[in-house]
């Protein structure tokens, strides 16, 4: 199957983008294809990569807001999550996929539970995802054993799916909820299986203090001594880091995923140290985190937020310019996940989007990258292609109404449970 996008804007000039099967085969001039898309007045861009999500949390969107992190978790989120059933994860993830497609995301890196159901939703919806079961042992050896078993089972499950769009990762939750032994086993398992480790790192000050008490040093140095840091690590948040921590992450080849909206909404007390991580050469991506702390999965918003937060935090408007944030949301995220995607280049995966440049918010166009970072939102995405298949045309995704109804019904049932 081949797709030809004609005359869309590629790096500032109208070009044709030719997709064959799951790859970008040619950028230039082409005559024919199975499907031809008129790309005039559109920007052709790599699909966005959401580097950190808990997709099925869409079911808890607008359920608990304006609360501090620990109260929010303990009083509102965890009690609801305890009531989740597998079917909820399927519909919640499906809603998240729908929303991500509509706003131009083609890949996401997800950590949650009942992940077989998340995989089923991703398979149905056509996106690309890296999925991990969130390991929490609360320093209990028996729990550790069942959690690692669950992870091994999920890795097997994904392997057997043989779906090129679905990859597994190992997901130890964070240092507060996972013991040193389990962190080590999780990492070894990931390295053996050749998959990534999806982890929450240094999100809160409390986590740093707990690490100091438990290990006598901050999270990054403690994890480094455990041999937990390496190019397998995709670390979400990375807020409470020193310059030295950033350098260690850089030396070990770990990736950092910034979640500015969630960090601000939950008042984690500091901003992602972008300048230090950049100097340290750390691969950086962007994530929305779960919808309950955002409350949408629109990466266009996240790009803008990342730029604004850095400018505010460093008091220097030159920090994190539009182009760098755009790169985080595309090639940075793809590199973190080890995917040949996030770039509009021949040979890369055909994960592409078209943005409608006739929207009044995108006029005039002195600088396309600035427009995309500061003026656009996900609702301006017209067409989405993932793995060489069209998932959205002219803002229309197949089966949308059924997904919305299904997710609504599950959210209602959850509240009444």
Q: Restricting to residues 273-332, name those near a copy of itself by CB under 8 A.
A: 291, 294-298, 301, 304-305, 307-309, 311-312, 314-318, 320-322
User: For residues 91 and 199, which CB has a smaller minimum distance to a copy of itself in the complex?
Assistant: 91
72 binds a copy of itself (CB under 8 A): yes
Stretch that binds a copy of itself, among 57-65, 216-224, 234-242, 382-390 (CB under 8 A): 57-65
69 binds a copy of itself (CB under 8 A): yes
User: For residues 185 and 263, which CB has a smaller minimum distance to a copy of itself in the complex?
Assistant: 263
416 binds a copy of itself (CB under 8 A): no
Number of residues that bind a copy of itself (CB under 8 A): 75
75 binds a copy of itself (CB under 8 A): no
Taking the complex as a whole, how short is the minimal distance between the CB of residue 135 and a copy of itself, in angstroms? 27
User: For residues 296 and 330, which CB has a smaller minimum distance to a copy of itself in the complex?
Assistant: 296
Question: Which tokens belong to 238?
Answer: 């990375």
Q: How many secondary structure helices (H) and strands (E) does the chain include?
A: 16, 16
User: For residues 3 and 309, which CB has a smaller minimum distance to a copy of itself in the complex?
Assistant: 309
Phi, psi (degrees; rounded to nearest 5) at 385: -120, 130
The DSSP element (H or E) to which 411 belongs, if any, is: helix 400-416
Kindly identify the residues of this chain, within the stretch 325-364, that bind a copy of itself according to CB under 8 A.
Answer: 358, 360-361, 363-364
DSSP 84-123: --HHHHHHHHHHHHHHHHHTTEEEEEEEESSHHHHHHHHH
List CB contacts of 264: < 8 A, sequence separation 6 or more: 305, 309
Taking the complex as a whole, how short is the minimal distance between the CB of residue 164 and a copy of itself, in angstroms? 26
Phi, psi (degrees; rounded to nearest 5) at 365: -120, 80
Kindly identify the residues of this chain, within the stretch 370-399, that bind a copy of itself according to CB under 8 A.
Answer: 370-371, 373-380
Taking the complex as a whole, how short is the minimal distance between the CB of residue 98 and a copy of itself, in angstroms? 5
Using a 10 angstrom Cβ sphere, with 0-12 exposed, 13-18 middle and 19 or more buried, the burial of residue 62 is: exposed
Kindly identify the residues of this chain, within the stretch 84-103, that bind a copy of itself according to CB under 8 A.
Answer: 95, 98-99, 102-103
* Window 25-44: contact mask with a copy of itself (x via CB under 8 A): --------------------
Question: Which tokens belong to 216?
Answer: 């006598």
Q: Give alpha helix (H) positions in 253-376.
A: 260-265, 274-279, 299-314, 322-327, 333-337, 368-370
Taking the complex as a whole, how short is the minimal distance between the CB of residue 14 and a copy of itself, in angstroms? 16
What value, to the nearest 5°, has the Cα angle with vertex 357 and ends 352 and 360? Answer: 140
Taking the complex as a whole, how short is the minimal distance between the CB of residue 235 and a copy of itself, in angstroms? 21
Torsion angle of alpha carbons 57, 58, 61, 63, nearest 10°? -50
Contact 289, 52 (CB under 8 A): yes
266 binds a copy of itself (CB under 8 A): yes
Kindly identify the residues of this chain, within the stretch 182-221, that bind a copy of itself according to CB under 8 A.
Answer: none
Measured distance CA(409)–CA(415) in Å, rounded: 10
Strand, coil or helix: 11? coil
User: For residues 78 and 312, which CB has a smaller minimum distance to a copy of itself in the complex?
Assistant: 312
């Amino acid at each position: 199957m081949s797709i030809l996008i004609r005359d869309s804007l590629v790096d500032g000039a109208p070009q044709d983008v030719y997709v064959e099967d799951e790859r970008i085969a040619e950028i230039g001039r082409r005559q024919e294809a199975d499907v031809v898309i008129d790309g005039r007045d559109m920007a052709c861009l790599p699909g966005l990569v959401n580097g950190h999500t808990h997709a099925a949390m869409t079911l808890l969107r607008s359920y608990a807001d304006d609360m501090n992190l620990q109260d929010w978790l303990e009083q509102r989120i965890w009690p609801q999550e305890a009531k989740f059933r597998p079917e909820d994860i399927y519909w919640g993830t499906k809603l998240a996929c729908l929303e991500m497609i509509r706003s131009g995301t083609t890949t996401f890196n997800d950590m949650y539970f009942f992940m077989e159901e998340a995989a089923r939703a991703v398979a149905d919806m056509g996106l690309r995802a890296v999925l991990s079961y969130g390991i929490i042992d609360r320093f209990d050896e028996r729990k550790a054993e069942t959690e690692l078993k669950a992870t091994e089972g999920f890795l097997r499950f994904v392997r057997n799916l043989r779906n090129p769009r679905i990859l597994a990762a190992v997901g130890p939750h964070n240092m507060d909820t996972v013991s040193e032994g389990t962190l080590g086993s999780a990492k070894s398992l990931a390295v053996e299986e050749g998959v990534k480790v999806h982890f929450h790192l240094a999100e809160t000050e409390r986590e740093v203090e707990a690490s100091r008490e438990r290990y006598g040093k901050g999270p990054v140095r403690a994890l480094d001594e455990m041999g937990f840091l390496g190019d397998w690590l995709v670390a979400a948040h990375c807020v409470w880091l020193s310059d030295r921590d950033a350098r260690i992450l850089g030396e070990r080849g770990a990736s950092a995923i910034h979640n500015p909206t969630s960090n601000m909404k939950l008042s984690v007390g500091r901003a992602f140290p972008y300048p230090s991580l950049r100097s340290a050469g750390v691969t950086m991506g962007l994530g929305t985190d779960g919808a309950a702390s955002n409350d949408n999965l629109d990466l266009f918003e996240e790009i803008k937020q990342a730029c604004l937060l850095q400018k505010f935090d460093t008091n220097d408007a030159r920090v994190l310019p539009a182009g760098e944030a755009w790169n985080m949301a595309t090639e940075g995220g793809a590199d973190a996940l080890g995917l040949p995607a996030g770039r509009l280049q021949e040979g890369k995966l055909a994960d592409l989007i078209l943005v409608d440049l006739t929207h009044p918010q995108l006029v005039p166009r002195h600088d396309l990258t600035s427009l995309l970072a500061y003026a656009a939102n996900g609702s301006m995405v017209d067409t989405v292609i993932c793995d060489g298949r069209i998932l959205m045309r002219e803002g229309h995704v197949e089966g949308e109404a059924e997904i919305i109804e299904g997710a609504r019904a599950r959210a209602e049932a959850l509240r009444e449970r």
